[in-house]
């Protein structure tokens, strides 16, 4: 009897933690948006009727999409080079990617605060070169948020993709060139399709990470460039509009889960090894 239950006994503590502290609380948050006194869809109508909140949602989507595209492109180039490098140079490059990755989001966003600030290196350089007469304000713009976000996610992309690229057998690439494929054709017809599932997984991580981020938009976007994460915090902790905050949370959850489900399904369909 005990033996039959062993598997269950082992999974119960961890399952309970997830159930009690994630499924129930988050479920309660989502349910709260449908239990409004003004009708079940009222919080969503309120959200989408507010021009400001629509702008925030649209800005978040835009920033996340741009961040994803730039991170994928830069990450792919860097990973492609990493995968081809000999041992020593490769470790140096991997260290250069891992170090920022393990350094917290606050520190990394803060670095861009210094870079883009009034006394930052970019302003100093432009002043010294005489391009500008006085410091320009780069902080609290969409560009600042995107720059910091790309910086945040490129290391993740590099590590994900260099693993994927190294997994492509070398003789498959040699077979392609022996059959007459020029380097770009090898890239376009062999490497890219084989890396596509990994690319999609990486892109999903970047998009959902950007879409739900808090610290970076808070530090580099501030009130002026409010995004979904900062809006959620502001609704909950500044205006104490719990229903409003829950609505933002619900939209985040739905968008995140929808994207993960759709894209992982797509990645699986594109996976050549799943016969």
Partner 1 sequence: MTVSLTLDSVTAHYGSTQVLKDLSLAVAAGELVSLLGSSGCGKTTTLRLVAGFLEPTSGSIRLGERDLTRLPAHQRNIGLVFQNYALFPHLSVRDNVAFGLKQRGLGAAERLKKADAMLERVGLASFAERMPAALSGGQKQRVALARALVIEPPLLMFDEPLSNLDAKLRVDMRVEIRRLQRANGTTSLYVTHDQEEAFSISDRVAIMNAGRIMQLDRPEVLYQRPANSFVARFVGFENLIPMRVSARDGGAVTAQTDAGATLTLSQDAFGAIPDRFVLAARPDGLAVTRAGEGRPAGIPVTLGIRTYLGRAYQYQCSTPGGDYLGNGPLTEPLEPGSSAILSPVPEQCCILPPED
Partner 2 sequence: MRTSLHPALTITASLIFAILVAPLFIILGAAVSDTSYLTFPPQGFTLRWFTNIFEISAFRTTAITSLQIAMLGTALALLIGIPAAYALNRFRIRLPSWLANVFVLPILVPEIVLGFSLLKSVTISLGLPVFLVLLLGHALLVLPYAVRVVGASLASFDFSIEEAAISLGCPPLKTFFTVVLPNISAGVIAAFILAFITSMNDVSVSLFLTGPGISTLPIQILAHMEQFFDPTIASVSVLLMVLTVGVMAIVEATLGLTFLTK
Q: What single-letter DSSP state applies at residue 225?
A: T
By beta-carbon proximity to partner 1, the closer residue of 3 and 88 is 88
By a kind-dependent CB cut-off of 5 to 8 A, residue 169 interacts, out of partner 1, partner 2, none, with: partner 1
d(CA 189, CA 219): 42
| Binding test (CB under 8 A) with partner 2, winner from 68, 245, 247, 267 | 245
Contacts to partner 2 from residues 59-98, by CB under 8 A: 74, 77-78, 80-82, 84, 86, 91, 93-98
By a kind-dependent CB cut-off of 5 to 8 A, residue 242 interacts, out of partner 2, partner 1, none, with: partner 2
Contacts to partner 2 from residues 160-219, by CB under 8 A: 162-163, 166, 183, 208, 211-215, 218-219
d(CA 222, CA 233): 12
By beta-carbon proximity to partner 2, the closer residue of 46 and 81 is 81
By a kind-dependent CB cut-off of 5 to 8 A, residue 182 interacts, out of partner 1, partner 2, none, with: partner 1
Residue by residue, DSSP assigns 54-82 as HHHHHHHHHHHHHHHHHHHHHHHHHHHHH
List interacting residues with partner 1 (CB under 8 A).
169, 171-172, 174-183, 185-186, 189-190, 193-194, 270, 272-275
Q: What single-letter DSSP state applies at residue 38?
A: T
d(CA 216, CA 153): 12
By beta-carbon proximity to partner 2, the closer residue of 50 and 103 is 103
* C-alpha dihedral, 46 to 52 to 57 to 61, nearest 10°: 160
Structure tokens that stand for 268 in this block: 């699986």
């Amino acid at each position: 009897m005990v033996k039959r239950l062993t598997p269950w006994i082992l999974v119960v503590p961890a399952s309970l933690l997830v159930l009690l502290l994630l499924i129930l609380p988050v479920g309660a948050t989502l349910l709260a948006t449908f239990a409004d006194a003004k009708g079940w869809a009222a919080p969503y109508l309120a959200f989408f009727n507010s021009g400001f909140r629509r702008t925030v949602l649209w800005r978040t989507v835009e920033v996340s999409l741009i961040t994803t595209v730039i991170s994928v492109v830069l990450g792919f180039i860097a990973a492609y080079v990493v995968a081809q490098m000999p041992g020593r140079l490769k470790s140096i490059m991997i260290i250069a990617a891992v170090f920022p990755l393990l350094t917290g989001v606050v520190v990394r966003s803060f670095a861009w605060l210094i870079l883009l600030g009034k006394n930052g290196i970019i302003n100093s350089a432009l002043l010294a070169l005489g391009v500008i007469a006085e410091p320009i304000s780069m902080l609290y713009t969409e560009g600042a948020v995107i720059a910091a976000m790309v910086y945040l996610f490129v290391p993740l992309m590099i590590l994900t993709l260099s693993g994927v690229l190294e997994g492509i057998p070398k003789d498959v690439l040699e077979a392609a060139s022996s059959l007459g494929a020029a380097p770009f054709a090898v890239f376009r017809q062999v490497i890219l399709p084989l890396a596509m599932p990994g690319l999609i997984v990486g892109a999903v991580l970047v998009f959902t990470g950007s879409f739900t981020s808090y610290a970076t938009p808070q530090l580099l976007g501030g009130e002026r460039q409010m995004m979904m994460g900062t809006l959620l915090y502001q609704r909950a902790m500044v205006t104490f509009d719990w229903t409003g905050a829950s609505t933002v949370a619900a939209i985040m959850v739905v968008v995140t889960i929808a994207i993960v489900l759709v894209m992982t399904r797509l990645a699986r369909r594109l996976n050549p090894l799943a016969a």
